[in-house]
Amino acid sequence: MTLFHRLLVVLMAWLATAGIARNAIAAEFYTEDLRIPMAEAGPQGLEAFLVRPAGTKRYPLALLNHGSPRSFDDRATMSAHKYYGIALEYARRGFAALIVMRRGYGTSPGGRVDSVGGCANAAYLPAAAVAVADLRAAIDAMGRRADVTTSGMIAAGHSAGGLATVALTAQAPPGLIAAISFAGGRGSRDDDDVCNEDGLVQAFATFGKTSRVPMLWVYAANDSFFGPDLARRLYDGFRGNGGHTKFIAAPPYGDDGHYLYSVVGRPQWTPYLDAFLRERGLGHDILSVPDPLPPPGQLNEAARAEFSRYLASTMPHKAFAVSANGGYGWRSGRTTADDARRDSLSACMKWSPTCTLYAVDDQLAGAAQRTSTDQSARAR
């Protein structure tokens, strides 16, 4: 088996885990980079990325919430695009999935606005209130769109985003009918070391007093941030005050179960999601991702293998450029599609004087894309 065919097998296996099954319905998906207006975030607003089926109706919102890294410096490196693979799973289930970067994360201004303060007396309720304000701004913005409806919306979050999701249910906006928290919590500064653990339990108990939205909580047995004993305490505090949630103690996942909710972990967590959605009457036929693009005909085996890697990349924005003699270049994880086009052409033109765009994100670039021989691209 050639290298290209080995990688193609891997790619097709990846597509199978994404739900390419005989009963899946083929679909195209629409994506859009957004800035969410919010006075507290200034003129920039909040960074966001929308993924939905490429239809013409209004799709119910799935509001997705990210975690908070242990190191403050890592917040600036975060991006809504990094959650594309997870957002796509909600879009495949008929939702308009919005990843919004809360204040202080990615390119959303805000600094340490959601700080919990000193570790010994970490204050989780004020930090949660900041997160909820950001989420409500996103909901307001989505409610004004013609392709999204907040009636029948859901919310889902991971880690600190799980805590934010639970907090949102305690002040539930109209239209929120279900919510999911994967490894929800805050304040982990090292493995099995959580700042003011009792305060975190009390925060979840406080949320339970007013939260009446049906929820699903999932914690893996080997979660290094919020282990099984703490997870159960959070659940008991929340349920003890009236909160409604189903608790799943998932089996160990990889080296650290905190990262169960990931692209790689989809075969493990999507069945929990699907069962919960069916229980709430929200189950739909799962849309399949489009068939992978064919490789350019002029590529040799090694280059075709590289094109398979391009297809497997789940980091928008990306582009693949080729030359007539089989040269190529590709880049992913760019802020805009134009950046991806420019950088892939630049990479290709290091080897060939004339290159054309073959693919942008997961679509063929099309005949409208003009050949680039811009020599200035080499210097970028």
Query: Is position 379 within any domain?
Result: no
Which of 280, 311, 340 is where one domain is finished?
A: 280
Q: Are residues 231 and 352 both part of a single domain?
A: no
**How do 319-322 and 356-360 pair as beta strands?**
antiparallel
Q: Are residues 38 and 165 both part of a single domain?
A: yes
Q: Is 366 exposed, middle or buried (0-12, 13-18, 19+ CB in 10 A)?
A: exposed
- CATH classification at residue 169: 3.40.50.1820
Query: Is position 1 within any domain?
Result: no
Which of 233, 251, 280 is where one domain is finished?
A: 280
Q: Are residues 114 and 240 both part of a single domain?
A: yes
Q: Are residues 196 and 235 both part of a single domain?
A: yes
Q: Are residues 271 and 307 both part of a single domain?
A: no
pTM for the whole structure: 0.83
Q: Count how many residues are written for the chain.
A: 380
Q: What is the pLDDT of residues 209-253, one digit of tens each?
A: 999 999 999 999 999 999 999 999 999 999 999 999 999 999 999
Query: Is position 8 within any domain?
Result: no
Pull the structure tokens for residue 98: 């919005």
Q: Are residues 309 and 272 both part of a single domain?
A: no
Q: What is the pLDDT of residues 1-20, one digit of tens each?
A: 443 333 333 344 444 444 43
Query: Is position 111 within any domain?
Result: yes
Query: Is position 72 within any domain?
Result: yes
Q: Are residues 93 and 239 both part of a single domain?
A: yes
Phi, psi angles (nearest 5°) of residue 125:
-65, -45
Q: Are residues 86 and 135 both part of a single domain?
A: yes
Give the C-alpha distances (Å, rounded to integers) separating 194 from 130, 144, 170, 258, 334. Answer: 20, 39, 23, 14, 34
What integer pLDDT is reported at residue 351 of this predicted model? 86
Strand ranges (DSSP E) for the chain? Answer: 25-26, 29-36, 46-53, 59-65, 96-100, 148-158, 176-182, 188-190, 193-194, 215-220, 245-250, 287-288, 319-322, 328-331, 356-360, 363-364
Share the mean pLDDT of the chain.
90
Q: Are residues 86 and 233 both part of a single domain?
A: yes
What integer pLDDT is reported at residue 18 of this predicted model? 47
Query: Is position 200 within any domain?
Result: yes
What integer pLDDT is reported at residue 292 of this predicted model? 83
Q: Are residues 253 and 113 both part of a single domain?
A: yes
Q: Is the pLDDT of residue 368 over 90?
A: no
Domain count, the chain: 2
What integer pLDDT is reported at residue 207 of this predicted model? 99
Q: Are residues 195 and 132 both part of a single domain?
A: yes
User: 99: domain range?
Assistant: 29-280
